[in-house]
Amino acid sequence: MSEKKKLSENQMFISVLASVVSIIIGLIFGFILLMILNPSKAGIGINAMMTTGFSSLDQFGKVLYQSAPLMLCGLSVGFAFKTGMFNIGATGQYTIGAFCALVGGIAWQLPWWVCLILSFIGGAIWGIFPGLFKALFNVNEVITSIMFNWIGMFLVNLLLANMPIMLASAWGASNSDRTAALSQANPGAIIPKGGLDRLFGNSSWINISVFIAIIVAIICWFILEKTTFGYELKACGFNKEGSRYAGINANRNIVLSMIIAGALSGLGGGLYYLAGTIQYVLEKKTLAMGFNGIPVALLANSNPIGTIFSSLFISYIQVGGSAMQPNFSSESTDIIIAVIIYLAAFALLMRGLIVRIMKGGKSRETAVTENAANVTADKADSMDKDDNKEAKA
Amino acid sequence: MASDYVIEMLHITKEFPGIKANDDITLQLKRGELHALLGENGAGKSTLMSVLFGLYQAEQGTIKKDGKEVQIKDPNDANRLGIGMVHQHFKLVECFSVLDNIILGVEDTKHGFLQKDEARRKVMALSEKYGLRVDPDALVSDISVGMQQRVEILKMLYRDNEILIFDEPTAVLTPQEIDELMEIMRGFKNEGKSILFITHKLAEIMAVADRCTVLRKGKYMGTVDISGTTQEELSKMMVGRDVRLTADKKPCKTGNVILSVKDLVIPSRTHNNNAVRGVSFDVRQGEIVCVAGIEGNGQTELIYGITGLEKVISGNITLKGKDITHAPIRERSMDGMSHIPEDRHKHGLILDYTLEQNLVLQRYRESAFQNKGVIKAGEVRKYADRLIEEFDIRSGQGPVTIARSMSGGNQQKAIIAREIDKQPELLVAVQPTRGLDVGAIEYIHEQLIKERDNGKAVLLVSLELDEVMNLSDRILVMYEGEIVGEFDPKQTTVEELGLYMAGAKRQDGKEAKAS
Ligand SMILES: Nc1ncnc2c1ncn2[C@@H]1O[C@H](COP(=O)(O)OP(=O)(O)OP(=O)(O)O)[C@@H](O)[C@H]1O
Ligand SMILES: [Mg+2]
């Protein structure tokens, strides 16, 4: 009994357990979906999804490679969350970051690390707008950042289309719908592999980007948990009026946190496109990577260290999902991935349940859930507010 | 045979991390009785009531309604059993109208559309019957706390509840509103409703309650008949020692002017007129100056202006000779101003931060607590431990307790500890003892007097005239945004203050308009 109690009081343990249980439930649902879509191949499918990431060093290298930009987008969303901002603009910042890195690499022939700094700065600039509009005019950051996602994407396409030197066609390839391959344009802009490729059976994917991302995650954690700056940011996120009372300049912090969030997403774009394996394709759609940062952050409860693991997990099932391709259409694997991520995000709900079970059917989280319910109610209300006013007028 | 008791809570035990909030508590509520629940801050009163209302599940113990055991798993169960509750911190949707708040959760619908006419009639009838004045179309965010509370009470009545729980209803009310509430509660009782009533004010218990159950540190101390007891006995039962109900203090020795306010004009958030209309006064070292008045006469805005939470339209404020009229809040704080705010949840605390994080809220940038922007966690912990010890801040897990989970009174103590320990030149204290138990009030009053004796300036705002008379060296009465009189507490009476507060008299010679 006392052992049980100790465990149930260990918040960390409960959080991790809740995430794991949610993920398992997500996988079970995914399997049921596979059964519906293609019963004869369901077993193979789920097997592919669950094992591909570990099936070969090459595939594992891919998991690590893809996790880096995911991690940064997740950190970006999570960082903004902590300040009470919903950064749905990660994808726009990511796109601008990718663009800056590629211009640095291809047009200006700069080395990889300078390109990364450029992507960092580019994302930061894109993060300023929603932050500034919120701080100065109290414009909801969600609206601004969605608009800036589209502005960012079309702006980048427009600029690239008008910078012939950036396109593959200028570097000996035939296609002009994508940027040049870095191996042709400027091998020096490719993020070094640091010998990891040898370790990973000559994987073409792996490079040091995942380590860069992990270091950034640790820095984010340090800033949020250990510094006065992080203390202020979180205070603003939790209680804006209260932090104003404490003399904290909330507007300054809103802008700063969006700049940092933007910089993180931007760096993610740089890490992804400077690997040398991917070219930026000029398409009329926003990139999914930034949006995937949202579940990454949610799954980790916005904790930067948790983000390391949640991004690895999502990257893992994405790699697994692509291995299901021959038997399942890419759309259906996308659906399954979405279902798994969606259910994994139930971790919070799972927490309450686990505590309840551990305490032998009695819940002590009721108050917390109740609170959460109140908060949601409040949020919903504030959205309805305008309608209400109109109705009354 | 029907039981004498409508509600029996038998041997209730409820644990939180690090603390047994309720330890084998039994409470029996008779039909048609007004039953008070008394106990120190953190004794477990709110927790016990939350168990009855279904917000928490007790680990042990049973609840009986009319002698039959019942399970109350959530507030809906409680509602079905006719149990309603007015919480210590109200649970209203700010941007909904009063009417919408009252019917929320039990709305009538027809083909999926809200039917509010019937509801409106019922609410207005109830409001009429019990004298609970509300404006059904006002937004909750725009109405006074007093009216918010009436909305909470109407919510219970609208649901036809027979057992009414009031968790510290009087802590946020003005003396007039308290009298009204007492009347209303008596009315409920005469109708046969049963009432559970939490308060720290012994006089209220003596005035309206039939019986009183006392808790101490989560344990049951006993239940007494009010007719056979005294305030002293009750407070002794609750705290375990004698409590002095009046503070004694030396005559004040005033020094230099610390705060000087001149012709201050501050806008109002709720109406178009200015809330503060040309107020001037000084506060000197070594004195406690109290701003008294009926709520809503500009005291809140005056304090917002002085502390920087609200911009002033004209006039100026000087602190130790320096003009701070437009200075940012942080600058005022660094120049030696401390502020115990009126609303502890909105301003005083970051509820999701731990107790220790809250205790350094005003000081985390000092070099004692940070080095090059990195917080010295060890120093913060040491500091928090000291304040917790000195101010007797009780909580489940000490410095790492999340502030939200602390009892209301202990949250208040944390704020007071933080603001007093900052060693301010000027302490602005708004309702500092709101929600505190008698023992804690005694301690806080001693602390305020100690500050004053150490040559600090104290600006106090209180709605409680006893506190005003007890503590202050000078009393300024505010009415409709102006200061209408200045008094020496030794040479005035509560009655006289009351006349000025109601606007019936003023000192500047002008005859007050009769109203
Ligand atoms: N949700 C919660 N989680 C953890 N601890 C809690 C929670 N609610 C209350 N407690 C703890 O239980 C104890 C009793 O709290 P409770 O709110 O019942 O006190 P109270 O008697 O109402 O005090 P007050 O007069 O200050 O309102 C306190 O020490 C508090 O810290
Ligand atoms: Mg309480």
- Residue ranges of domains in chain B: 2-239, 244-336+424-515, 351-412
Is there a single domain that holds both residue A82 and residue A110?
yes
Distance CA A147, CA A145 (A): 5
Above 60 in pLDDT, residue A24?
A: yes
- pLDDT, tens digit (0-9, with 9 covering 90-100), for B98-107: 999 998 888 7
Cα diameter, chain B: 76
CATH number for the domain whose boundaries are B2-239: 3.40.50.300
In a domain, A373, yes or no: no
Which residue in A242, A366, A374 is closest to B347 by CB distance? A242
- The confidence score (pLDDT) of residue A172 equals 83
Cα B140 to ligand 1 centroid, rounded to whole Å:
27
For residue A234, which residues of chain B lie inside 8 Å, CB to CB? 353
Question: By residue range, what is the domain housing residue A168?
Answer: 65-315
Ligand nearest, relative to CA of residue B41 = 1
What is the identity of the amino acid at B414?
A
Percentage of chain A surpassing pLDDT 70? 87
- pLDDT, tens digit (0-9, with 9 covering 90-100), for B397-424: 999 999 999 998 999 999 999 999 999 9
pTM greater than the 0.90 cutoff:
no
Is there a single domain that holds both residue A341 and residue A294?
no
CA dihedral B311, B317, B320, B321 (to 10 degrees): 120
Same fold, B2-239 and B244-336+424-515: yes
What number of C-beta contacts closer than 8 Å exist between A and B? Answer: 98
Ligand nearest, relative to CA of residue B25 = 1
In a domain, A377, yes or no: no
Q: What is the mean pLDDT of residues B135-150?
A: 85
Rounded to the nearest angstrom, the minimum Cα separation between B338 and chain A is 10
For residue A229, which residues of chain B lie inside 8 Å, CB to CB? 373
Reported as a pLDDT band with limits 50, 70 and 90, residue A8 is very low
Which residue in B16, B328, B374 is closest to A247 by CB distance? B328
Distance CA B169, CA B494 (A): 23
- The confidence score (pLDDT) of residue B2 equals 55
Is there a single domain that holds both residue A155 and residue A73?
yes
Which residue in A231, A362, A370 is closest to B57 by CB distance? A362
Is there a single domain that holds both residue A21 and residue A105?
no
Pocket of ligand 1 (CB under 6 A): A 367; B 16, 19, 21, 39, 41-47, 88, 394-396, 405-410
- The confidence score (pLDDT) of residue A42 equals 83
* ipTM of the predicted assembly exceeds 0.90: no
Candidate of B47, B168, B217, B433 to mutate for ligand 1, largest count of ligand atoms within 8 Å of Cβ: B47
Is there a single domain that holds both residue A337 and residue A310?
no
Rounded to the nearest angstrom, the minimum Cα separation between A337 and chain B is 33
Is there a single domain that holds both residue A39 and residue A69?
no
In a domain, A154, yes or no: yes
- pLDDT, tens digit (0-9, with 9 covering 90-100), for B310-350: 999 999 999 999 999 999 999 999 999 999 999 899 999 99
Would you call B349 and A385 a contact, using CB atoms and an 8 Å cutoff? Answer: no
In a domain, A376, yes or no: no
Indicate the DSSP class of residue A167.
B
Is there a single domain that holds both residue A107 and residue A6?
no
Nearest to A293 by CA among A143, A91, A61: A91
Rounded to the nearest angstrom, the minimum Cα separation between B315 and chain A is 22
For residue B346, which residues of chain A lie inside 8 Å, CB to CB? 239, 241-242
Total structural domains within chain A = 2
- pLDDT, tens digit (0-9, with 9 covering 90-100), for A65-108: 999 999 999 999 999 999 899 999 999 999 999 999 999 999 99
- The confidence score (pLDDT) of residue B350 equals 96
Is there a single domain that holds both residue A70 and residue A2?
no
Above 90 in pLDDT, residue B376?
A: yes
Distance CA A144, CA A151 (A): 10
Distance CA A286, CA A149 (A): 7
Q: Match 């005694």 to its residue by tokens.
A: B442
- The confidence score (pLDDT) of residue B486 equals 94
Q: What is the mean pLDDT of residues A304-327?
A: 88
For helices B145-158 and B117-130, give the axis angle rounded to 10 degrees.
110
Is there a single domain that holds both residue A196 and residue A233?
yes
Q: What is the DSSP string of A317-329?
A: HHHHHHHTTTTS-
Nearest to A301 by CA among A47, A11, A94: A11
Fold of B244-336+424-515: Rossmann fold (3.40.50)
Above 60 in pLDDT, residue A388?
A: no
**Sign of the torsion formed by the C-alpha atoms of B299, B305, B308 and B311:** positive
Partner B contacted by A164 (CB < 8 A): no
Reported as a pLDDT band with limits 50, 70 and 90, residue B14 is very high
Ligand nearest, relative to CA of residue B435 = 1
Is there a single domain that holds both residue A252 and residue A339?
no
Q: What is the DSSP string of A211-234?
A: HHHHHHHHHHHHHHHHBHHHHHHH
Distance CA A101, CA A69 (A): 13
- pLDDT, tens digit (0-9, with 9 covering 90-100), for B31-49: 999 999 999 999 999 999 9
In a domain, A384, yes or no: no
Q: Output the CA–CA distances (angstroms, integers) from residue B95 to A246, A302, B189, B234, B461, in the order listed.
A: 26, 29, 33, 41, 28
In a domain, A7, yes or no: yes
Would you call B350 and A370 a contact, using CB atoms and an 8 Å cutoff? Answer: no
Rounded to the nearest angstrom, the minimum Cα separation between B412 and chain A is 14
Distance CA B453, CA B462 (A): 20
Reported as a pLDDT band with limits 50, 70 and 90, residue B510 is low
Q: Are A148 and A241 in contact (CB under 8 A)?
A: no
| Those residues with Cβ within 8 angstroms of residue B466's Cβ, 6 or more apart along the chain or in another chain | B494
In a domain, A115, yes or no: yes
Q: Output the CA–CA distances (angstroms, integers) from residue B273 to A319, B280, B312, in the order listed.
A: 65, 18, 14
Reported as a pLDDT band with limits 50, 70 and 90, residue A198 is confident
**Residue nearest atom 28 in ligand 1 by C-alpha distance:** B42
Residue A251 is part of a domain; what is its CATH number?
1.10.3470
Range scoring the smallest mean pLDDT among A64-68, A82-86, B140-144, B222-226: B140-144
Q: Are B227 and B66 in contact (CB under 8 A)?
A: no
